[in-house]
Amino acid sequence: MVVKEVIQLENDLYAVHWEGDDDHCFNEMLNKYTDAEWLKVYFKDNKGFIVPGPNSGKYLEDMVYDTIDGIGEMSESIDKGDLDDLDGLFIPLGGNKANYYYAAKKYKGGTHFQWIRIYAIKDDQDCYFITGYACKFSQSMQGHDDTANELKKLQIADSFIKTNKLNIP
């Protein structure tokens, strides 16, 4: 995984564009998590993680509708000014802080789309760098390939931001 470039979305908000992806990760998430066809295939492929699991009892198809509605809810709250309070939007990721130079953060979906995560690094200038997104299907991030991958991306982005001093105006 290689950082292709870092894109500025707003004053203190950035998103990583990963090598091999068509767009930066925030746009990629908006495209995939509002696409019923993509979500249907994705949840079906991950059926083993969903039933039984943290979302036990939820039908796969309901998860498609809830994800789409959840992204709609997120878009409304961002429109109402959530981006003015990035510290309120992203909470600490937890885990091993020693793995990061800066702070690893996450956005967690509301109760009816609680599997959605957006990951970010917050630097010492209070800038947020969105590194990726995932549906969290396992207790630990290492428990599923997608979230394990997001952990790696967080660490690569953390190192990239530090090395390239992206926080310096």
- Under the binding rule (CB under 8 A), the answer on residue 78 touching other proteins is yes
Nearest partner of 99 among 143, 157, 144, 145, judged by Cα: 157
Beta carbon nearer to other proteins, 79 or 85: 79
Choice from 64, 93, 121, 157 touching other proteins (CB under 8 A): 64
* β-bridge mates for residue 6, sequence order: 16
User: Hey, which residues between 12 and 41 contact other proteins (CB under 8 A)?
Assistant: 14-15, 23-24, 26-27, 30-31, 34-40
* Whole-number Å distance between alpha carbons of 63 and 72: 14
The site string for other proteins over 115-154 (x = CB under 8 A, - otherwise) reads: ----------------------------------------
* Whole-number Å distance between alpha carbons of 136 and 107: 12
Choice from 61, 84, 124, 126 touching other proteins (CB under 8 A): 61
The 3 state secondary structure assigned to 73-94 is HHHHHHHCCHHHCHHHHCEECC
On whether the CB atoms of residues 153 and 18 are closer than 8 A, the answer is: yes
Residue 168, Cβ density class (10 Å: 0-12 exposed, 13-18 middle, ≥19 buried): exposed
Choice from 58, 65, 155, 167 touching other proteins (CB under 8 A): 65
Choice from 1, 68, 103, 148 touching other proteins (CB under 8 A): 68
CB of 144 to other proteins, least distance (A): 23
Size of interface with other proteins, in residues (CB under 8 A): 34
- Under the binding rule (CB under 8 A), the answer on residue 87 touching other proteins is no
Residues interacting with other proteins, by CB under 8 A? 5-9, 14-15, 23-24, 26-27, 30-31, 34-40, 61, 64-66, 68-69, 71-73, 75-76, 78-79, 166
